[in-house]
Amino acid sequence: MGVTLTILSLIVLIPLTAVALKAAHQSPEAFWAAAFNDRSLAAYRLTFGAAFVAAAVNGVFGVLTAWALVRYEFPGKTIVNALVDLPFALPTAVAGIALATLYAPKGWVGQFLTPLGIKAAYNPIGVVIALTFIGLPFVVRTIEPVLRDAAEDVEEAAASLGADRLQTIARVVLPALAPAWLTGFAMAFARGVGEYGSVIFIAGNMPYKSEIAPLLIIIQLEQFEYERAATIAVVMLAVSFTMLLVINAIQAWSRRFD
């Protein structure tokens, strides 16, 4: 017990305090200027926007994947099931260079996008692609157990009351999944906001355009602007904590119906 708390404090709590103290080690005006200048605002917009879009994409395909894994039998299901966790197991830098190569203008996928006028890599779209890769398992693995435990008798009840399959899915199945879906979405979003390794290779990292907030921290660090780096970190930490609270609130809310 005491050991647990000591180690936790040494490794987690004290260093986190260091960030807050460092950021507070400047005037409010300087803090504001470092936190919310045009360049950092653009970086937040891209980071949060891309994380949101990627989480939404995963929200759609994650539900379908979980549904197929739980409800259907098909050849290669075990492999598909294992593959879903690839983003957990594959180092992000590897994912980054692979995605950058695939979606570069002359890459395997990029060459088909270029004629359509779509520039994927070295563009905000690239950031979304990387974050989609990173976030997928969060959505699938949050929904899957809930779907597996969901009693099929409510679907039978809906059918016996005259609902067609679409009505059953829309009014009975999906609403019951909503808390898990929102939790998975929030987790994928939170992870996407902080992601660095897989993004920097494909993003192009152009200030004001395709530069993410974590990269901004690194750039400030390399210029020995520790206060400024800590300031951006504090903003991101605030968002992380908010997401944690949101996830906990969703789960508390969903327990109301059990």
Partner 1 sequence: MTISIRSIEKKFGRYPALNKVDLEIADGELLALLGPSGSGKTTLLRTIAGLEFPDAGQVLFDGEDVTFASAAARRVGFVFQQYALFKHMTVAKNIAFGLDVRKGKDKPDKAEIARRVEALLKLVELEGLGKRYPSQLSGGQRQRVALSRALAVQPSVLLLDEPFGALDATVRKSLRKELRRVHDATGVTTIFVTHDQEEALELADRVAILNKGQIEQVGTPDQVHEEPETAFVCGFVGEANCFDGRVGDGRFSAGALQLPASGLRDGSATAYVRPHDFVLDDAGFEVRVDRAHVQGALTTVNATTLDGRPLEISASRAEAARFAGTVRISARKAHVYAA
Partner 2 sequence: MRAVGTHRRATDDPAWTKAVIIGVVMLFLALVLVLPLVAVFVEALRKGVGAALAAISNPDALAAVKLTLLTALIAVPFNAVFGLCAAWAIAKHDFPGKAFLITLIDLPFSVSPVVAGLIYVLVFGLQGWFGEWLLDHDLKIIFAVPGIVLATIFVTFPFVARELIPLMQEQGTSEEEAAVSMGAGGLTTFWRVTAPNVRWGLLYGVLLCNARAMGEFGAVSVVSGHIRGLTNTMPLHVEILYNEYDFVGAFAVAALLCLLAVVTLVLKTALEVAQPGVRGRGGH
Q: Determine the interface stretch with partner 1 among 72-80, 86-94, 133-141, 150-158 (rule: CB under 8 A).
A: 150-158
Q: Binding partner 2 by CB under 8 A: which of 31, 44, 122, 138?
A: 138
Q: Binding partner 1 by CB under 8 A: which of 14, 16, 178, 245?
A: 178
Other C-beta atoms closer than 10 Å to the C-beta of 251 total 13
Is residue 128 within 8 A of residue 50, CB to CB? The reply is yes
Contact between 25 and partner 1 by CB under 8 A: the answer reads no
Per the document, the length of the chain is 258
Q: How far is the CB of 28 from partner 2 (least distance, A)?
A: 20
Q: How far is the CB of 125 from partner 2 (least distance, A)?
A: 14
User: Could you tell which of partner 1, partner 2, none binds residue 233, using a CB distance below 5 to 8 A set by kind?
Assistant: partner 2
Is residue 230 within 8 A of residue 218, CB to CB? The reply is no
Contact between 159 and partner 1 by CB under 8 A: the answer reads yes
Question: Could you tell me which residues come within 8 angstroms of residue 206 by beta carbon, excluding any fewer than 6 positions away?
Answer: 122
Q: Residues 195, 201, 207, 208: what is their CA dihedral angle, to the nearest 10 degrees?
A: -60
Task: Report the C-alpha gap between 89 and 61 in whole angstroms.
Answer: 20
Q: Determine the interface stretch with partner 2 among 26-34, 36-44, 113-121, 129-137 (rule: CB under 8 A).
A: 129-137
User: Could you tell which of partner 1, partner 2, none binds residue 116, using a CB distance below 5 to 8 A set by kind?
Assistant: none
Other C-beta atoms closer than 10 Å to the C-beta of 94 total 12
- Residues in contact with partner 1 by CB under 8 A are 151, 153-154, 156-164, 167, 171-172, 175-176, 178, 256-258
